[in-house]
Amino acid sequence: MPRRAKSLPVSTLLASLLALCLAVGWAWREAAHAQTAKPTTTSRTINLDQVSMTEYTDEGKPVGQVGLYIDGPTEDLADLVTGRFVIDPRKSPHPPHVHPEEEILIVASGHGEIFCEGKTTQVGPGSVMFSAANVPHSITNGGDEPLTFYFLKWLPKPSK
């Protein structure tokens, strides 16, 4: 006489169905992310005339112009962003903020102040700021002329 198969409890079936749905959803998300991911940055030289500057606003008000040289992952970094920012006189791109990337900022022209990790410093051409990850920082143009700075931000790939 054939043995009758045991039926699974409804709770086990529901848990299995939920796990399957989550797995399919996660796979769908990963596939969609792979299609929209930025390409790996390659070695190259970029001249200033190749950088498109766009208006930058803070709380809906123009504060300057920004242009990006590089924006994407590299072989060794999860993300690398380099750019140029021209701050209008007596403006700031944003209040002090934090982000997971480390950042270097180099003042090329103009005068103002940099707030970094609780300290405000007067800056001018040649001044450099380093901000570790998640450290509050900002820059303000304190003069009557535009303040231009270059920035580099990078985020390491997670350790395996």
pLDDT at 156 over 90: yes
Identify which has the larger pLDDT, 6 or 52: 52
**CB-neighbour burial class of residue 153 (10 A; exposed 0-12, middle 13-18, buried 19+):** buried
Q: What does the domain layout of the chain look like in residue ranges? A: 9-38, 48-156
Mean pLDDT of 43-66: 96
Give the three-state DSSP class for 41: coil
HSE at residue 158, side-chain half, CA atoms within 13 A, is 1
Q: Which residues contact 69 (CB under 8 A, 6 or more apart)?
A: 46, 51, 82, 83, 84
Position 58 scores a pLDDT of 96
> For the segment 114-127, what is each residue's pLDDT rounded down to a tens digit?
999 999 999 999 99
CATH classification number, 48-156, choose in 3.40.1130.10, 3.40.50.620, 2.60.120.10, 1.10.10.10: 2.60.120.10
